[in-house]
Structure 1
Amino acid sequence: MLWKKGFRFFVCSFLVGVCVAGAGMVGTYMNMNEWMTDSHKPVGPWPKVQVAEHDPHKPTVAVVLGSQVTEVMDFMESYELFARTQAFNVYAVAPDHGVKTLSGGLHILPHYTYEELDTLLGGSPAMIVVPAIPFMDETKYRPTRQWLQRHAGRDTTLISICTGAENLADAGLLKGRSAATFWADIDRLEREYADTHWIRNQRYVVSGNIVTSAGITSGIDAVLYVIGRHIGEDQALLAAREMNYPTYHFVRDPAMIPWSVGWKDAVFMLNFAYQWKQRQIGALLYDGIEETALASVFDTFDASGTANTLTVSGSGRPVRSRHGLTLVARYQTGNAPPLNQMIIAGTEAHVLAAEAASGWEDHPKQPKPLYLHSGSPARYVMEAPIEQLALLEDKTTAAFAAKRLEYRADSLRLKGKPFPVEPAAMLLAVTACSVILAVYVDRRWLAPVR
């Protein structure tokens, strides 16, 4: 009868859907967990963090680290830009002194706890930068919310990067204000925080003492705007030129054509769901490494769902970045697991990383290092990893990486396969196996039903 055929079709289709979706959910959970986890923290004890002497004549900038995970580029680009000017005291601050995780698995030790900075300043910092900090554990996140609320007075400029705007909204600091945020989350935030006017067509939005930015690299525009407001646009322009930042015009006029979710963005979920054999990439840490150059590796490869980046250093001691961050590697050159590629980030890596690189090259079974930025010192550091992602994976994945990063320069040169072959093949294989299973179930249990 017709209803029996319809029932059999429904059961078989449901079974195929459950198998395909279930396999994708497992893959997504595993890959997302590698990207946004704090479970691989290196274990100390660590020496006391070196902090530059505080200059009471300079404004103080506090860049916030969450207890668990903080978005890597949001944090690093802001820290480096303020530090480059040498006009501010710039500190990484956190609820406690423990190792903190940046997305993708970069580990850092804060300069001060919230309480220590409050004691040092005897009040609020001039500026607080709020990167995107996921709400993973309410108990662990609560001190950050309370600290932001405590220092939200009009004498402090609050700067949110990407979905750091959600952290401000969660603290009740955006009620009745206009704000920008990440294009992929703005619909959700409009529903959850309807008392905020969410702006889609600006790279950053100024609302009183709060400056909110759109997607990740939009934070550069917001920070440069704040720098220009405090110490002059000539200094902001100088910092942008030193970093070879190609779209300074957005600092002067943040208007943009808004991006929204499109069908090509499905490559993001395809990679996370069905890229079951992620590429293992090493990131060599060395003293003097540029913060944004290092972050570009993690926020391109790990955030694409195609790779897992592991930090490696030449010794077990912490590494000090160019502008005074204390970084902790997960592995040393002698005990690193087998890697598919070793990346050395930074425009001066050939010189500054020479000792660490020589130690790595003593292990012939490991891949030779790729000096990611040394061949293009006059380009902005985000471009080389996006182009390398296209070569290693495909152009569609790399194009989405640029979109996710809100990178709007037209200087990218993407070469590679047109689309992600491996996860697409895995999806087809899972679908085929699910269909075979459904046919077996139909013939074994459903077809004989009378």
Structure 2
Amino acid sequence: MKRKKKVIITICTTIIIVGLSLYFAVASVFDGKLREYTGPQNFDSNQPQSDISKKTVLIVADNGGTEMFDLLAPYYLFNATGQANVFIVAEKKQPILLVNSLFILPHYTFAEIDSLNIKADILVIPNMTIHLKTPPETSTVNWIKKQYTGKNIILSICDGAATMAATGLYDGKIITTHASDFETLKKQYPGPNWVKDISVTQSGNLYSTGGVANAVEGSLTVIKETFGDGTLQKVLHDIKYPHRTIQLEHKSNKVTNGSILTAVQRYFFKKRTNIGVLLQSDVNEFDLGSMLDVYSRTLPKSLKSFTIDNKPLKSKYGLTLLPSGKLEHDQVDELKVLNPAAFTAAEERHFPKAGVELYPTVRNQYILDTYLENINKLYGKKFMNFVKLTLDYN
């Protein structure tokens, strides 16, 4: 009897120790400190030009931290229609951290939009409550409510659902979010009708999406609704979308303990490197956002973006990109280059210790699949599946 009791105590103790170890390991893996901008502050204050014949799309951002793909995917996709003015709007005219490896400048502040009396035809709300550690900013919630006319479209992306639930606009209406955060948000905000297993919800002119990767389906759905099927087909072809029509079927598979264990094993027992992504003029925002977001989930020692002279540059559709890394301070073990044709030998010499990975400019498949296939080759299928779960991609 004593022996049996001793065995039970040993088993329980082991379970507690393993559980605590896993808990603290997961905290180390996922709760990295958000970066702060420390570069020059002398930014061009000129406001962008607007074509009054086009629809206005405003993508709301939080200066302190906004989900990378949630913002850059719709920014690219709505621009790719050729029929929209697409602007990034934040509370302050200061750099926005796209978590956790790139800074961008907003086109407008909330106050500037108000003073110009601009009302969005489409309002996009990405995840601005990173790791759900802080509640939505009251000022942002109130500004969104003021922007909403009852006739314009709102697209909530991923955990942007937290911000939209806080507005009360979705009370009694269907909404979804990232599979891994679904139960938490449902408990915090009981007003909306929370639904699973769908990539995009629609309740009148209020839309929402599943996690991260589903920003694409949400944007495409609104593009079809607003600009028609011809424009949709153009954008589908542009990004090499892997389905003939918008994929609305979705499995809300949250990150499991088994997949977390796979991530913890990689984090603590496998070699982790410093990854650099080279920012180049006219870079495709969709490709860049995909790369930075996907590879951040491979748990590198660090992942930062760089320019050769540490200065800002412009993306394809005119975003001001600010690097998160500095060549004189940061070690780079792997350098990823999205436009090999513009990558010179002189530029390569700035990264003397880095292995260089060149990605073809002309692609024959959906870019998320390209990156995930590479992760499968590097780290195996189990770890690739972990990354897919964090992206809520299936």
Compute the TM-score of the two structures, normalised by the length of structure 2: 0.89
Gaps spanning 5+ residues in structure 2: where? Answer: none
Q: CA deviation at 1:263?
A: 5.5
Q: Which residue of structure 2 lines up, in the alignment, with residue 225 of structure 1? A: 221
Please say which of residues 74-83 and 198-207 is displaced more in the overlay. 198-207
Task: Specify whether residues 392 and 52 from structure 1 end up closer, same or farther in structure 2 by C-alpha distance, changes over 3 A only.
Answer: same
1:155-178 C-alpha deviation (Å, 9 max, x unpaired): 221101112112101221210001
Q: Which residue of structure 1 lines up, in the alignment, with residue 340 of structure 2? A: 350
Gaps spanning 5+ residues in structure 1: where? Answer: 409-450
Contact 1:221 1:248 in 2 (8 A): no
**What SS does structure 2 have at the residue aligned with 1:370?**
strand
What letter is aligned with 1:185? Answer: D
Contact 1:179 1:212 in 2 (8 A): yes
| 2:388 counterpart of 1:402 | yes
Q: CA deviation at 1:231?
A: 1.7
What letter is aligned with 2:242? Answer: P
Q: CA deviation at 1:280?
A: 1.1
Q: Which residue of structure 1 lines up, in the alignment, with residue 160 of structure 2? A: 164
Q: Which residue of structure 2 lines up, in the alignment, with residue 366 of structure 1? A: 353
| Matches of 1:343 and 1:38, distance apart in 2 | 22
| Matches of 1:336 and 1:237, distance apart in 2 | 45
Task: Specify whether residues 382 and 49 from structure 1 end up closer, same or farther in structure 2 by C-alpha distance, changes over 3 A only.
Answer: farther
Contact 1:267 1:397 in 2 (8 A): no
| 2:120 counterpart of 1:125 | yes
Contact 2:274 2:301 in 1 (8 A): yes
Q: CA deviation at 1:221?
A: 1.6
| 2:102 counterpart of 1:112 | no
1:418-443 C-alpha deviation (Å, 9 max, x unpaired): xxxxxxxxxxxxxxxxxxxxxxxxxx
Instruction: Pick the aligned partner of 1:386 from 351, 362, 372.
Output: 372
Instruction: Pick the aligned partner of 1:299 from 293, 307, 310.
Output: 293
| 2:332 counterpart of 1:339 | yes
Contact 2:35 2:100 in 1 (8 A): no
Q: CA deviation at 1:187?
A: 2.4
Q: Which residue of structure 2 lines up, in the alignment, with residue 290 of structure 1? A: 284
Contact 1:68 1:136 in 2 (8 A): no
Please say which of residues 140-149 and 258-267 is displaced more in the overlay. 258-267
**What SS does structure 2 have at the residue aligned with 1:185?**
helix
Contact 2:221 2:246 in 1 (8 A): no
| 2:86 counterpart of 1:90 | yes
Give the aligned CA root-mean-square deviation in angstroms.
2.7
Contact 2:176 2:194 in 1 (8 A): yes
Contact 2:69 2:215 in 1 (8 A): no
**What SS does structure 2 have at the residue aligned with 1:288?**
coil
What letter is aligned with 1:370? Answer: E
Residue correspondences, number = 392
Q: CA deviation at 1:97?
A: 1.2
Q: CA deviation at 1:282?
A: 0.3
Contact 1:162 1:182 in 2 (8 A): yes
Task: Specify whether residues 50 and 272 from structure 1 end up closer, same or farther in structure 2 by C-alpha distance, changes over 3 A only.
Answer: farther
Which protein shows a greater Rg?
Answer: 1
Q: CA deviation at 1:17?
A: 5.6
**What SS does structure 2 have at the residue aligned with 1:237?**
helix
| Matches of 1:214 and 1:364, distance apart in 2 | 38
| Matches of 1:103 and 1:129, distance apart in 2 | 17
What letter is aligned with 2:379? Answer: E
Q: CA deviation at 1:183?
A: 1.6
| Matches of 1:275 and 1:142, distance apart in 2 | 42
| 2:25 counterpart of 1:32 | no
Contact 1:42 1:328 in 2 (8 A): no
What is the aligned-residue identity percentage? Answer: 21
| Matches of 2:372 and 2:385, distance apart in 1 | 8
Q: CA deviation at 1:214?
A: 1.3
Contact 1:244 1:380 in 2 (8 A): yes
Compute the TM-score of the two structures, normalised by the length of structure 1: 0.79
